[in-house]
Structure 1
């Protein structure tokens, strides 16, 4: 016959299971079953630990978004400074239809000839339309997305923008293709953070939080070393400091 202690333990176990089931119900309602699953898998099905891992993932995203935003500000201002110094059109380079960022740049594709700058024009015009009348060009620069700045130096614009202007924003000898891969990684991970996606156990190397944080900080040092020294000193990678202070509640990879 089970003694009183066995009955007490069985009751505790049953209560714990009911509590866990109830947590799963509202967690699925909140996050969706699909989005909750990777956290449960990372915590051997323990819902309490899975939710702690979710909170930790959000905190990791906040760190990454901070470092990416520091870099984004430096990138847009460096590119704007270079373009302003080289452009002598009637209007600002973002608004002048003759600018290399706006004029048609045709390239071959599977669907025929496409204008690489068609999205640029729409992005700029949409940002301008959202600003008050008489806006400054500085407000327009600040209102454009990270994606806009990253794609200014993609392969389709190498001849019209990179070789003519934007290479000057970077140290001599910078390889555009290698730089672009780092920029794409920063942009892709930023978008994952913005959409509250899982950041740990990345399926592709370019989505590694460790790599992206190192790239964001490293590229900021190239654009404005004084700002990087002010923000980070010459110490460890911010992600490493975060992990020391906030270890992950499960075995994960970054």
Structure 2
């Protein structure tokens, strides 16, 4: 073993056989190669999570802006749902977000509640059940560069990214995914909302060199 490379045996043991198993399968049972692939998975997961973080913030703000405009001069905030459009699950998510804000012992503001709502919450606002109630008259305006404006196209893209986001959040392998396609999906969604923001996200991204450095 080269002097500048650590002994991977204790690292493999510390990670646990169960955690390392997918990497061993991908590398033909070579423990050293499995650890190298694990390291790459960590790097690409971190870089992809950064890009997903930009998307999540931009998405929730864009959707919230349109929901607030749709709410207009009705009492309260859009998430009070005076028109009774949102599902029971959405109401539960909103109530939980408000409780988290209260636990911070800070005044409740719409911005703080919006920030506490999950990626899944925003994705489900673009589900088929809201096609007539929210998409057509409201949420499609969050994607001015999407032509033709198809709710299903946006939902499918977000659904794919929701899956990979959850895998990253739970430290699961993503090395078998087409990470380049995931990256392009993030950029495509950003472009549908704001081309300048997409360009900014691309300029910040560490993904291209990390993807290129994937162990063979």
The two structures have a TM-score, normalised by structure 1, of 0.73
Number of the residue aligned with 1:243: 211
Number of the residue aligned with 2:76: 91
- Give 1 or 2 for the bigger CA radius of gyration: 1
**Larger helix fraction of residues:** 2
Number of the residue aligned with 1:149: 122
Q: Among residues 201, 208, 216, which one is paired with 1:231 in the alignment? A: 201
Number of the residue aligned with 2:138: 165
Contact 1:71 1:220 in 2 (8 A): yes
Gaps of 5+ in 2: 2-6
Number of the residue aligned with 1:209: 179
Number of the residue aligned with 1:221: 191
C-alpha RMSD over aligned residues: 2.3
For residues 142 and 135 of structure 1, what CA distance do their matches in structure 2 show?
11
- Residue 133 of structure 1 and its aligned partner are, at CA, apart by 5.1
Q: How many residues align?
A: 205
- Residue 209 of structure 1 and its aligned partner are, at CA, apart by 1.9
SS of structure 1 residue aligned to 2:42: helix
Q: Among residues 88, 94, 110, which one is paired with 1:137 in the alignment? A: 110
The two structures have a TM-score, normalised by structure 2, of 0.85
SS of structure 1 residue aligned to 2:215: coil
Gaps of 5+ in 1: 1-11, 13-18, 102-116, 203-207
Deviations 1:177-232 (A, max 9, x none): 12211110011110011111111223xxxxx3222111111211221222222332
Which fold has the larger relative contact order, with Cα–Cα distance below 8 Å and residues 6 or more apart in sequence? 2
